[in-house]
Amino acid sequence: MIGSEIPALIPVTYILFAVLIPLIGLWKREIVWQLSLLGTGIATFLSAWGFLHLIQTGETIRYYFGGWTPPVGIEFVYDGLAAFIVLVINTIAFLVLIYSKEISKVEFPGKKMPYYTITMLMMLGFNGMVLTGDLFNLYVFLEISSLSSYALIAIGEKRAPYASFRYLIIGTVGGSLYLLGVGFLYTVTGTLNIIDMHAMLPQVIGHSSVIAALVLMVVGVGVKAALFPLHGWLPDSYTFASSSSSALIAPIGTKVAAYILLRIVLFLFGIELIDAHLPVTTIIGIFAGIGILYGSIMAIAQSELKKMLAYSSVSQIGYIIMGISLANPFGFIGAVLHILNHALMKALLFLVSGSLRLKEGHSLITKFDNSYRRKYPWTMAAFTTAAISMVGLPPLAGFFSKWYLALGTIENSNWMLLAVILISSLLNAVYFFRILEKVYLNDPESESSDETNAVERDEVGFSMMFPMAVMAIGLLVVGIFNAYIVNVIFTMFPVGF
Amino acid sequence: MLDFFMGHYAYWFTMILLSVGLYGMLLKKNLVKKTIGLTIFQGGVILFFVSVAMKEGATVPVKADGLPVSEVANYMNALPHTLMLTAIVVGVATLGVAYALLIMIYNRYGTLNEEELIDKIQ
């Protein structure tokens, strides 16, 4: 039965194509894009199949590598949550790779073969991080994905290598701190398997090593997730990377790190133990709240679209981490739903900024004008959909994750965080509506002038329009069918795990 | 007090290495020196793992005739050492990527000094 092999098959597909693309690329350079699309397509298909299979049977698949049963061997745990996140990241990667066909000709001609090879390696790392049930294995996948994203970010503008180098230094420190935390936990429990360690932690929870390990792991993963005081690497990296790289890394990279934080807080330690000796959830909740406001305010201050989106990422990651810090079912639903929503929204917004850079040669907000709505009607429509969803107006997807986060804060009587959610929605409205205003609203005089009417429609090609349209419709579909999705997510909450 | 320092000297050593690495990354202006700080930092983590697996008077984890397997004190724990083999490989790969980036930076800006670099960028 192939169903039980799916957790292993998804990373294997990526590693296979990471080898195939350079080999075939040497012989036929022009088909590397098709190959990468095939690889991601197979992985997306497998993860969709696995997800449906899992919903129907409701059984967690635990894949043992080499037949060694854990805790001795390494296992992949394919439960509802992992299946959901894998489906989200593979679908986003598939859509962004369709888009990258045209933009790669302009932004990095002649570097397509290494680009797609590194993309496959990065997706291998992200999928492995989500699936693995072993803490050290997680570190290895974390480093695979990080090293690939350093390389992907360096393919970009002139300043990209320096931004990437800063990310490398900060990111490697984060990875090393995580590894040190794993070492501390290993010395007191003698195991690396997450499920096994969860069973042992109640006996050693008061040990100072465990408390130190928890702090080190949260800080280490927090660096990767760009949790507020550790976000310094993010804005420059996302701004100076090429458009398709930032559209790939921004929706996937920080989300997967936030998912790892969720695993550590709610699955490895569990709701009962996480706050036993240190108010971890309160602390990360405060930092998430500050991050949400800081990211939104910095986004308002930016005059460049990609940099604004990067700061907006800092703020949106705050929502996910806030949902984790609430440690109740509503907060969990909000966090997981926001991983999906924000992945769709941020990918779409970065794709729009890439299209504008391709057509206009820049994405400076100050130079936006009302001719855009005639030149790029569909691109701007997609942008508007994402922007409204970011602000959180129903029936678009963004509203529902904020709704569940707000319910979670009310359940914990955490009025500060509720206020943060409401204020940040207003701030989101400020930085998105000033763009919408420039594009859609203007004085009637210039509307009637011949000059504006003379602007020809200059829409991007089908291969770039298609992923944007799918994501925009996806936002609407996720919003309308959110009740069904929330029911599925609710079953993933670790009750009695 | 002396016991506290002497009994945990391996951990003190790890902490000193981590601090030296952080100092290099935070305060040195030259990007190559930052990379060296990074390597020292990773080295601290690796030595921590290696030192926790150390046992006085134990031997390599290969079954010997005179030493029954049931007495685990006779054998060292091999797992942290094997983990660190992987971590060393990761460290080497990180260093490779870092130097590749440094070459790109040097080719574009002609300097590896952070202050000069920031001046040239702006």
Q: What ipTM was assigned to the predicted interfaces of this complex?
A: 0.93
Is B76 part of the contact surface with chain A (CB cutoff 8 Å)?
Answer: no
Amino acid A495: pLDDT: 62
Q: Convert the pLDDT of each residue in A167-211 to its tens digit.
A: 999 999 999 999 999 999 998 988 899 988 988 888 888 888 888
SS3 of B55, please? coil
Q: How many CB pairs under 8 A join A and B?
A: 69
Inter-chain CB proximity B98 and A165 less than 8 Å: yes
Contacting residues of B for A162, CB less than 8 Å apart: 105, 109, 117, 121
Contacting residues of A for B35, CB less than 8 Å apart: 169
Amino acid A447: pLDDT: 52
Inter-chain CB proximity A165 and B102 less than 8 Å: yes
**Burial of residue A215 (number of CB atoms within 10 Å: 0-12, 13-18, 19+):** middle
**Of A462 and A314, more confident:** A314
State the pLDDT confidence band at A394, using cuts at 50, 70 and 90: confident
**Burial of residue A452 (number of CB atoms within 10 Å: 0-12, 13-18, 19+):** middle
The residue among A388, A375, A378, A369 whose CA lies nearest residue A442 is A369
The residue among A319, A346, A291, A313 whose CA lies nearest residue A400 is A319
The amino acid occupying position A56 is Q
The amino acid occupying position B39 is T
Best probe of the A interface among B101, B114, B119, B122, by most A CBs < 10 A, is B101
Residue that has been written with the tokens 């020809």 in this structure? A456
In angstroms, the CA A184 to CA A84 distance is 31
Query: In chain A, what percentage of residues exceed pLDDT 70?
Result: 96
Inter-chain CB proximity A150 and B49 less than 8 Å: no
In angstroms, the CA A19 to CA A163 distance is 28
**β-bridge partners, A156:** A241
C-alpha distances (whole Å) from A118 to each of A32, A281, A310, B98 are 12, 35, 22, 16
Inter-chain CB proximity B42 and A172 less than 8 Å: yes
Q: Which among A136, A147, A158 has CB closest to B97?
A: A147
Q: What is the dihedral of CA A210, A215, A220, A221, to 10 degrees?
A: 90
In angstroms, the CA A344 to CA A492 distance is 21
Is A188 part of the contact surface with chain B (CB cutoff 8 Å)?
Answer: no
Is A108 part of the contact surface with chain B (CB cutoff 8 Å)?
Answer: no
Q: Convert the pLDDT of each residue in A64-105 to its tens digit.
A: 888 888 888 899 998 888 999 999 999 999 999 998 888 888
Q: Are A85 and A488 in contact (CB under 8 A)?
A: no
State the pLDDT confidence band at A446, using cuts at 50, 70 and 90: low
**Of B31 and A454, more confident:** B31
Contacting residues of A for B49, CB less than 8 Å apart: 183
Inter-chain CB proximity B121 and A159 less than 8 Å: yes
In angstroms, the CA B23 to CA B46 distance is 18
Residue of A nearest to B45 (CA): A180
In angstroms, the CA A479 to CA A400 distance is 7
In angstroms, the CA A458 to CA A376 distance is 6
C-alpha distances (whole Å) from A286 to each of A243, A257, A260, A405 are 32, 18, 19, 15
Is B17 part of the contact surface with chain A (CB cutoff 8 Å)?
Answer: no
Is A140 part of the contact surface with chain B (CB cutoff 8 Å)?
Answer: yes
State the pLDDT confidence band at A485, using cuts at 50, 70 and 90: confident
Amino acid A497: pLDDT: 42
Does A110 score more than 90 pLDDT? no
Amino acid A451: pLDDT: 53
CA angle, A290 then A293 then A394, to 5°: 125
Residue of B nearest to A144 (CA): B90
Residue of A nearest to B108 (CA): A158
Rounded to an integer, the average pLDDT of A210-238 is 90
Number of neighbours of residue A288 by Cβ within 10 angstroms? 27
Q: Are A95 and A247 in contact (CB under 8 A)?
A: no
In angstroms, the CA A346 to CA A348 distance is 5
Rounded to an integer, the average pLDDT of A45-52 is 91
In angstroms, the CA A440 to CA B24 distance is 51
Rounded to an integer, the average pLDDT of A28-35 is 85
Best probe of the A interface among B90, B103, B114, by most A CBs < 10 A, is B90
SS3 of A207, please? coil
State the pLDDT confidence band at A242, using cuts at 50, 70 and 90: confident
Is B50 part of the contact surface with chain A (CB cutoff 8 Å)?
Answer: no
Residue of A nearest to B21 (CA): A173
According to DSSP, residue A263 is labeled I
Is B102 part of the contact surface with chain A (CB cutoff 8 Å)?
Answer: yes
Is B47 part of the contact surface with chain A (CB cutoff 8 Å)?
Answer: no
Rounded to an integer, the average pLDDT of A258-280 is 86
Is B42 part of the contact surface with chain A (CB cutoff 8 Å)?
Answer: yes
Residue of A nearest to B101 (CA): A161
Residue that has been written with the tokens 């929870």 in this structure? A205
Run means of pLDDT, 10 residues per run, chain B, 122 residues: 77 90 91 93 91 81 77 81 91 93 91 86 80
Is B73 part of the contact surface with chain A (CB cutoff 8 Å)?
Answer: no
Number of helices and strands in chain A (H, E):
22, 2
The amino acid occupying position B15 is M
Rounded to an integer, the average pLDDT of A95-118 is 86
Inter-chain CB proximity A183 and B121 less than 8 Å: no
The CA distance from A186 to the nearest CA of chain B, in Å, is 9
Q: Where are the alpha helices (DSSP H) in A190-277?
A: 194-204, 208-225, 234-240, 243-262, 270-274
Number of neighbours of residue A392 by Cβ within 10 angstroms? 22
State the pLDDT confidence band at A454, using cuts at 50, 70 and 90: low
* Model confidence, pTM: 0.92
Is A169 part of the contact surface with chain B (CB cutoff 8 Å)?
Answer: yes
Looking at every residue in chain A, the average pLDDT score rounds to 87
Is A168 part of the contact surface with chain B (CB cutoff 8 Å)?
Answer: yes
State the pLDDT confidence band at A496, using cuts at 50, 70 and 90: very low
Q: Convert the pLDDT of each residue in A331-390 to its tens digit.
A: 899 999 999 999 999 999 999 998 888 888 878 888 887 777 778 888 888 999 999 998
